[in-house]
Amino acid sequence: MKLCHRRFLLLTLSYMFVFWVLLAVLRNPSIQTFRSIVGNWILDNDLYPCTFRKLPMLYQHGDSHYFVVWETTCPSGDPMVEWWTSDMHSHVYTEPWYRRIDANHHRYTAIFGPTGNASNVFYKVNNYRQSTQQYKIHRPAKHALHRVLVMADNQNGPSNFRKVLARISKFYGSNTPDSILHVGDSVQTARSLKDWQKQLFSPMEDIGGMQHRTPTIFVPGNHDHDKRRKPNNSNLYTDMYHGLFDSEDLGNSAVVDGKYHRFYHSVSVGTARIIVLDAECPSAEQSEFLEHELQSPEFQNAEFKIVAIHIPPYIEFWDPYTWNDKGEKHWGEHIRIEYDPMFRKYGVDLVISGHQHNYQRSTVHRGPGYERDDPITYAIVGGAGGRLDLRRVEDYHMYNVTYLDHHFVSLDIESKRLHWVARNIADETVDEFVLQH
Q: What is the mean pLDDT of the chain?
A: 87
Mean pLDDT on 73-77: 85
Instruction: Please tell me whether residue 317 adopts helix, strand or coil conformation.
Output: strand
Highest-confidence segment of 3-12, 21-30, 224-233, 282-291: 282-291
Can you tell me the mean pLDDT for 138-157? 97
Domain boundaries 144-225+263-436, corresponding CATH code? 3.60.21.10
pLDDT at 239 (0 to 100) = 72
| Confidence tier at 281 by pLDDT (50, 70, 90) | confident
Q: Are 201 and 54 in contact (CB under 8 A)?
A: yes
At residue 273's C-alpha, the angle toward residues 267 and 277, to 5°, is 65
Contact 280, 222 (CB under 8 A): yes
Average pLDDT score over residue span 88-94: 93
> 142-151, 168-177, 353-362 — which is least confidently predicted?
168-177
Highest mean pLDDT: which of 8-17, 81-90, 138-147, 285-294? 138-147
User: Domain spans of the chain?
Assistant: 3-44, 52-68+78-137, 144-225+263-436
For residue range 300-313, what is the model confidence (pLDDT) as tens digits? 999 999 999 999 99
4, pLDDT greater than 90: no
Kindly tell me if the per-residue pLDDT of 68 is higher than 90.
Answer: yes
Q: What is the pLDDT of residues 332-342, one digit of tens each?
A: 899 999 999 99
Place 205 in a pLDDT band, splitting at 50, 70 and 90.
Answer: very high
Mean pLDDT of 71-85: 91
Give the pLDDT of residue 29: 54
pLDDT of residue 20: 58
Instruction: Say yes or no to pLDDT of 261 above 70.
Output: no
**pLDDT tens per residue, range 369-390:** 888 778 999 999 999 999 999 9
Predicted pLDDT of residue 2: 64
Question: CATH 1.10.287.3510: does it fit domain 52-68+78-137?
Answer: no
Please check whether residue 159 is in contact with residue 71, taking contact to mean a CB–CB distance below 8 angstroms: no
Residue 247's pLDDT band, with cuts at 50, 70 and 90, is very low
Q: Which residues sit opposite 437 in a β-bridge?
A: none
Average pLDDT over residues 389-413: 97
Enumerate residues 6+ apart whose C-beta is below 8 A from 297.
Answer: none
Residue 122 clears pLDDT 50, i.e. is over it: yes
Tell me the average pLDDT across 68-80. Answer: 90
**pLDDT band for position 227 (cuts 50, 70, 90):** low
Q: Cβ of 302: how many Cβ atoms within 10 Å? A: 20
Distance from C-alpha of 119 to C-alpha of 141, rounded to nearest angstrom? 7
Are 98 and 75 in contact by the 8 Å Cβ rule? The answer is: yes
* pTM, rounded to two decimals: 0.88
Contacts of 392 (CB under 8 A, 6+ apart): 316, 317
pLDDT of 371 reads 80
Helices 29-44 and 158-172 cross at an angle (nearest 10°) of 120
How many Cα atoms are found within 13 Å in the side-chain-facing hemisphere of 132? Answer: 27
Task: With cut-offs at 50, 70 and 90, classify the pLDDT of residue 410.
Answer: very high
Of 417, 419, 412, the C-alpha closest to 177 is: 412
Q: What is the pLDDT of residue 256?
A: 39
Annotate 333-381 with DSSP letters as a single string: HHIIIIIHHHHHHTT--EEEE-SSSSEEEEEEE--TTS-TT-EEEEEEE
Amino acid at position 209, single letter: G
